[in-house]
Amino acid sequence: MYYIDSNMLISYVFVSEKIHKISQKSLEKLAEKQKLYTSSFAILESCNALCRKIARGEKIVDPLQIYIDRYKNMEEKCRFLTSFFIKFLEEKLRIKIIDEKAIYE
């Protein structure tokens, strides 16, 4: 079992990150043999960072970039990316999101 923090999730998704290739290779290799976990807090933190990076024009992995480019304004791009990001991680890495109820109190 491995816990994946927001930095690794962001590096996995953004091709402009210095460690993108390392992150991609490492996470996909781990996902083949181990169960990966992250928290709802890490997802929230990642989505916030994803939207800031998109606003700066940084590129993300396909197919996400293809879909993001279809939207014109930033609010639509962030809304889409946030909803698609979780599904993308679940499908590509079979990651399980652990809910941290305390962060909502």
Q: How far apart are CA 44 and CA 41, in angstroms?
A: 5
Q: What's residue 104's pLDDT?
A: 55
Q: What's residue 1's pLDDT?
A: 83
Whether residue 63 is preceded by a cis peptide bond, meaning omega within 30 degrees of 0, is yes
Spans in the chain with pLDDT lower than 70 = 100-105
| Class level of CATH domain 2-104 | alpha beta
The predicted model scores a pTM of: 0.80
Cβ(16)–Cβ(75) under 8 Å? no
